Amino acid sequence: MEPFKIQHLRQFVAAVDSGSFLAAARATFRSQGAVSAAMDDLERQVGAPLFEPGKRALPTPLGLSLLPLFRELLAVHDRVRLEASELAQARQGSVALAVMPSLADEWLPDILSRYARQWPRVRLRAVDIPSQAVRQMVLSGEADIGIAGLLADDPRLEFRPLALDEFGIICPASHRLARLPQPVDWEALQGERLIGNATFEALRHPDIPPWIADPGMVVTNRASLIASVRAGLGVTILPMLARPARKHRLAFVRLHRPVIARTVGLLTRPGQTLSPAAQSMYGLLVELMGEPARALRR
């Protein structure tokens, strides 16, 4: 069966509502002759007259019966068209993020807040998991975008580096290390009780004292690590972007000689187009993720 033309249905409804083909023409920005021709075509498709003979747009009983059906079809068409436009403009949709925990404490809430203000009707889902698990979620399609440190190259993923994330000391703001001119040498940690964490694998470097990578205490849970430092059990070492939020009143002390850093960036599946909502999030992440690292280097 030949499909109805939306414009013809719109003109039919306008003609019945106004009782005039001229008014329908004006409402749909067509000539009266074009509307009359469209109604002839619609009657041909239906297979029976829709208007009584005469100059006024008086519907036949069939026309009156079809009127609510045509209204329903137009309403569905207009809703679908609007939602398609909303999705294309990232005003609707959903975005799933997988983020390594060290970024989820301070930087992620700000990013989500900014995105939600710009695109309030987009559904957001964020999961904080270790970098390796971030990669798996992106590969499986559970996450549109991953935020993680660079591990081994994986041809199945596209990695866009955003920030060079330098390691530094995390200690109470009142600690002696927080009062030293920055950056400090690694030897400044001599005599301190050092608490290891999950990022210490990156600290095996020939120019770093070997005892740094082999602390007497290791706490892998982030919340427990921060609580341990706040309680005075010792100091720890974390990348800049993993610095605890300001509410914890902990200082970040930069280290050098050598500077140890990890590369943090965005993970996506190569060759797969992001949805408009996810592409908007990707653009915002590119814009914002470098800000914390730049601010901390000042």
CB 197 within 8 A of CB 132: no
**Position 281 confidence tier, pLDDT thresholds 50, 70, 90:** very high
CB 264 within 8 A of CB 147: yes
Tell me, what's the pLDDT at 255?
A: 95
Tell me, what's the pLDDT at 293?
A: 46
Provide the Cα torsion 191, 192, 196, 200; round to 10°.
-70
**Structure tokens given for 193:** 């009780």
Alpha helices in 119-152 (DSSP H): 131-140
Mean pLDDT of 80-102: 79
Output Rg (C-alpha) for the chain, integer angstroms.
32
CB 185 within 8 A of CB 288: no
Cα dist. 274→24, 112, 282 in Å?
42, 18, 9
Report which of 21, 296, 11, 4 is spatially closest to residue 168, judged by C-alpha positions.
296
What is the DSSP-derived secondary structure letter of residue 209?
-
Say if residue 291's pLDDT is above 80. Answer: no
Comparing 10-19, 102-111, 212-221, which segment has the lowest mean pLDDT? 102-111
**Position 298 confidence tier, pLDDT thresholds 50, 70, 90:** very low
Tell me, what's the pLDDT at 295?
A: 45
Cα dist. 151→126, 127, 134, 148 in Å?
21, 19, 11, 9
Q: What percentage of the chain exceeds 70 in pLDDT?
A: 93
**Position 217 confidence tier, pLDDT thresholds 50, 70, 90:** very high
**Structure tokens given for 75:** 């309403």
Reported as type and span, the H/E element at residue 261 is strand 261-268
Which sign, positive or negative, has the C-alpha torsion 12, 15, 18, 19? negative
Tell me, what's the pLDDT at 296?
A: 43
Pairing of strands 123-128, 250-256: unpaired
Mean pLDDT of 32-42: 91
Beta bridge partners of 168: 238, 254
Mean pLDDT of 132-149: 89
Considering the chain, what is the average pLDDT of its residues?
87
- pLDDT tens-place string over residues 222-236: 889 999 999 999 999
What is the DSSP-derived secondary structure letter of residue 270?
T
Beta bridge partners of 170: 236, 252
Say if residue 1's pLDDT is above 70. Answer: no
User: pTM of the full predicted structure?
Assistant: 0.65
Reported as type and span, the H/E element at residue 208 is none
Mean pLDDT of 146-152: 78
Tell me, what's the pLDDT at 290?
A: 61
Mean pLDDT of 205-211: 90
Q: What percentage of the chain exceeds 90 in pLDDT?
A: 49
Phi, psi of 163 (to 5 degrees): -150, 145
Tell me, what's the pLDDT at 128?
A: 86
